[in-house]
């Protein structure tokens, strides 16, 4: 028998966090703890762990509740995501996470991923490989994404122009280019496509 692997599960939804903990505790070689990603104080302090299992959505926003997870646990992350969110998947991969597990995978895949990452090796669910390549093909520039992000918050062209220090015509051009690049019908459709893919 190998040594016990210490695992911490970081998830903002209590029911899902508890279910993940119970699933992992079914494996005798795993010692499992959990915490909420936006915990602060003592509860938010880094728990000693060999592997951290975390929802990919919490790693997407650099200013979000899971921003400290990568700092605390480094590359020993098993990130839970789906093929429908190639942007989220790509950011986790580019950020150095060793484990990428499809949320729709059988339970044993998560346990295998934890053991693999604990050894410092990469684990990638085969169902995510095509999505990972799609995530690398994000067609928009940083500026085009910025314009769409502000538009998604309801900002009109004039406000977007002022906030990004651009002319209104330039904002309209960025918007039109973004709509064309993602194959959208209009700005609302473009925002939906970009958000669905996890590119913002």
**64, 58 in Cβ contact below 8 A?**
yes
Letter string b/e over residues 47-58, b meaning 16 or more CB atoms within 10 A of that residue's CB: bebbbbbbbbbb
pLDDT tens digits for 144-173?
Answer: 989 998 998 999 999 999 999 999 999 999
Q: How many angstroms separate the CA atoms of 40 and 60, rounded?
A: 19
**77, 52 in Cβ contact below 8 A?**
yes
Q: How many angstroms separate the CA atoms of 95 and 75, rounded?
A: 8
DSSP class of residue 80 equals E
**pTM, 2 dp:** 0.69
Distances (CA, A) of 166 to 143, 160, 163: 10, 8, 8
pLDDT tens digits for 81-116?
Answer: 988 888 788 888 888 899 999 999 999 999 999 999
Q: What is the pLDDT of residue 121?
A: 94
Q: What is the pLDDT of residue 79?
A: 94
pLDDT tens digits for 2-14?
Answer: 578 999 998 888 8
The band of 71, judged by pLDDT with boundaries at 50, 70 and 90, is confident
For the cut 70, the answer to whether the pLDDT of residue 133 exceeds it is: yes
């Amino acid at each position: 028998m190998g040594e016990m692997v210490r695992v911490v599960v970081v998830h903002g939804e209590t029911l899902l966090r508890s279910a993940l903990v119970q699933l992992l505790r079914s494996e005798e070689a795993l010692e499992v703890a959990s915490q909420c990603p936006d915990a602060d104080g003592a509860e938010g302090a880094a728990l000693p762990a060999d592997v951290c299992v975390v929802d990919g959505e919490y790693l997407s926003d650099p200013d979000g509740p899971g921003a400290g997870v990568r700092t605390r646990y480094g590359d020993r992350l098993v990130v839970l995501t789906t093929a429908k969110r190639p942007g989220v998947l790509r950011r986790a991969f580019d950020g150095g996470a060793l484990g990428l597990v499809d949320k729709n995978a059988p339970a044993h895949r998560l346990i295998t991923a934890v053991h693999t990452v604990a050894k410092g090796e990469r684990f990638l669910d085969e169902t995510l490989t095509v999505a990972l390549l799609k995530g690398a093909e994000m067609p928009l520039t940083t500026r085009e994404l910025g314009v769409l992000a502000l538009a998604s918050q309801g900002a009109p062209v004039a406000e977007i122009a002022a906030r990004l220090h651009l002319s209104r015509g330039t904002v309209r051009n960025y918007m039109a280019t973004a709509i064309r690049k993602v194959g959208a019908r209009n700005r609302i459709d473009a925002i939906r496509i970009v958000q669905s893919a996890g590119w913002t």
